[in-house]
Structure 1
Amino acid sequence: DTYGGGKSEEYLGKALKGRRDDVLIATKFGNSMGDSPYMAGGSRRYVHRAVEASLRRLGTEYIDLYQMHIPDPQTPIEETLSALDDLTRAGKIRYVGSSNFSGWQIADADWVAQSRGYERFISAQNHYNLLNRDAEREVVPACERFDIGILPFFPLASGMLTGKYHRNEEPPEGTRLAGSPRARERYFSDAGWDKVQKLTDFAEQRDLSLLQIAIGWLAAQPQISSVIAGATKPEQVEANVRAAEWVPSEEDLAEIDRITA
């Protein structure tokens, strides 16, 4: 809901009008929706307000996957899960998920849900790609242990895995990394560029694009349920879909591990 101050949901609702039964809608709550401290978080009061606002903007009676955008240190997870359980029983949401939770937070939420009979998080949306495999330390093992599907965001490493950036050159104006010094610092390192070059060579040897390698590798990971790839043009959406058609062999996966692990 936070993207564009809710506009992303409004646009989606208009695009899907009359086609609701053909799609699964996933959205989020919890990140700031304004200047007030009461317009964010995981409190029972806010969760109920947020879902009603999302339903209105989306023009639907229910949300298939409702995800908590970020952990709320000010609200006990018991309160948040209780509110989400109420909304599930009321038919306003079908399933619940987390986003940006650490491994221990995923485990804690699952224990609370199971011990109290609440709806469990069925998905975890986290930063995960070939240039940032930090999720494998805690998040992936936690999701494997509790049978939670992972929805990785930034699968293309903010464009680093598309070939649009080049070593020793400033990122093109208007690109994600041009407007994000922190992300640029993360990826524009000698080690990062070396990995990109080796992955590019790997792709060319197989007559594939770097994008196909990035998305195909993620899709092949056992705990991945789907891959969230951004796009600003229709042809990018089509390229993302085609990329998921590449299925790496065991030898491919081993070689990619040697390059990026």
Structure 2
Amino acid sequence: MEKRPLGTSGLEASLVGLGCNNFGMKIDLAASRAVITAALDAGITFFDTADMYGNGQSEDFIGQVLGPRRKEIVLATKFGGIAMMRKSGERWGTRAYIVGCLEASLRRLRTEWIDLYQIHYHDPTTPIEETLATLDDLVRQGKVRAVGCSNFSGAQIAEATAQAQERRLVQFMTAQNEWNLLNRQAERDVIPACERHGLGQLPYFPLASGMLTGKYRRGEAFAAGTRLATFAYFKDLATEENFTKVEALQTFAQKRGHMILELAVSWLAAHPCVVSVIAGATTPEQVRANAVAANWKLSAAELAEVDALAP
């Protein structure tokens, strides 16, 4: 599988990464083991998790399964959470919080270092320079190799970069944001900020929670257990406008002998700023489908047509 540099860190990530948010939440240890093994066998070397996934079980499962194969992958995890997922008044950008989270993640992952350590959400209550200074120390200690941000706005990326440069601290190598053919909001400010400041982009939800696999159809009930059937946030994706886009994209892909899933991943991969497309999976079959999805190299004319179908 194609690999791309993770900023100037010296690390390389597989173009398709494994999102590990399902481990400990939707699937148990045995199923997670099958997914991880399938990913390694398919050439996926970028694994992304977070301390909040499965209340720490995602990290624990990864640590149990990888064992001696830990050195084969670039392992990314995240710290900090949104207001509804943290204790009242807790500030996740502080030195004490970050150091405590890192030590806990290292134990669960059964590793001595994290390749990419990311702040999961911007902390509005802590100066970004405190967060960066702490991350800088962790890099110097060898516990972290590179750092990144997740769910930051373009302005927040710019501010973090400016503070890091001014204070000569470690800079974010990557930014992780929701980005797909049904949600292109990141292109307004995040992607330009990444390009301007040299951050690699790690898009998540590339398949729009299954909408871009073609498994949901207009007028049909959502299967039990799926995201669209379970969570109100994801149900909002099932609009008439989005179904119209999906149907047009599906026709576009089928005319060229491909599936809409391949189009969704390949479209993201066609953007030079993208380092790895983070695709979650609950079965080995899904892993294998995701792994080959980026093999379709879209031409400039095809990209322009896709942009017109899903503006």
- The TM-score range, normalised by the shorter chain, is over 0.9
Q: TM-score, normalised by structure 2?
A: 0.81
- Is 1:38–1:46's contact at 8 Å kept on the other side of the alignment? no
**CA distance in 2 between partners of 1:127 and 1:88 (Å):** 27
2:73 alignment partner, one of 7, 23, 29: 23
Which SS does the other structure have where 2:146 is aligned? strand
CA distance in 1, matches of 2:218, 2:86: 39
Query: Could you tell me how far apart the structure 2 residues matched to 1:3 and 1:122 are?
Result: 22
Cα deviation 1:221-254 (Å, max 9, x = unaligned) = 1111100011000010000001011111111101
Q: Secondary structure at the match of 1:229?
A: strand
- Tell me the residue number matched to 1:120: 171
Give the aligned partner of residue 6 of structure 1. 56
Unpaired segments ≥5 residues, structure 2:
1-50
SS in 2 for 1:125: strand
- Does residue 1:175 correspond to 2:200, yes or no? no
Deviation at 1:188, TM superposition (A): 1.4
Q: 1-side partners of 2:262 and 2:196: how far apart?
A: 29
Contact 1:128 1:153 in 2 (8 A): yes
Q: 2:244 aligns with which of 194, 219, 225?
A: 194
1:96 maps to which of 130, 147, 151: 147
Counting only pairs closer than 5 Å after superposition, residues 47-126 of structure 1 correspond to structure 2 as 47-126=98-177
Q: 1:137 aligns with which of 168, 188, 195?
A: 188
Q: Pick from 203, 206, 223 the counterpart of residue 152 of structure 1.
A: 203
Inter-partner Cα distance in structure 2 for 1:59 and 1:40? 26
1:174 counterpart letter in structure 2: G
Instruction: Find the aligned partners of 1:157 and 1:35 in 2 and give their Cα distance.
Output: 26
Find the partner of 1:243 among 293, 299, 306.
293
Aligned pair in 2 of structure 1 residues 193, 171: CA closer, same or farther (>3 Å)?
Answer: same
Q: Distance in 1 between matches of 2:130 and 2:108?
A: 25
Identity among equivalent pairs (%): 53
Question: Relative CO higher for 1 or 2, CA cutoff 8 Å, sep ≥ 6?
Answer: 2
CA displacement 1:100-159 (0-9 Å, x = unmatched) = 000000000000011101100000000100000000000000000001000000000000
* Shift in alpha-carbon separation, 1:121–1:152, aligned structure 2, 3 A: same
Residues 38 and 61 of structure 1: CA distance in aligned 2, closer, same or farther (over 3 Å): farther
Q: Determine the C-alpha separation between the residues in 1 that align with 2:229 and 2:91.
A: 28
Do residues 220 (structure 1) and 270 (structure 2) align? yes
Q: Structure 1: how far apart are the matches of 2:85 and 2:201?
A: 29
How many residues get paired? Answer: 260
CA RMSD of aligned residues (A): 1.4
Cα offset for 1:38?
Answer: 6.8
Q: Which has the higher strand share?
A: 2
Cα drift, residue 174 of structure 1: 0.5
Candidates 30, 33, 36, aligned match of 2:87: 36
Shift of 1:20: 1.9
Deviation at 1:61, TM superposition (A): 0.4
Paired residue secondary structure (2:68): coil
Alpha-carbon separation, structure 2, partners of 1:166 and 1:19: 40
Structure 1 contact 160–196 (Cα < 8 Å) conserved = yes
Equivalent-residue separation in structure 2 for 1:37 and 1:78 (angstroms): 23
Tell me the TM-score normalised to structure 1 length: 0.97
Deviates more, 1:17-26 or 1:83-92: 17-26
- Kept after mapping to 2: 8 A contact 1:31/1:40: no
Unaligned runs of 5+ in 1: none
* 2:91 and 2:126 in contact (8 A); partners too: no
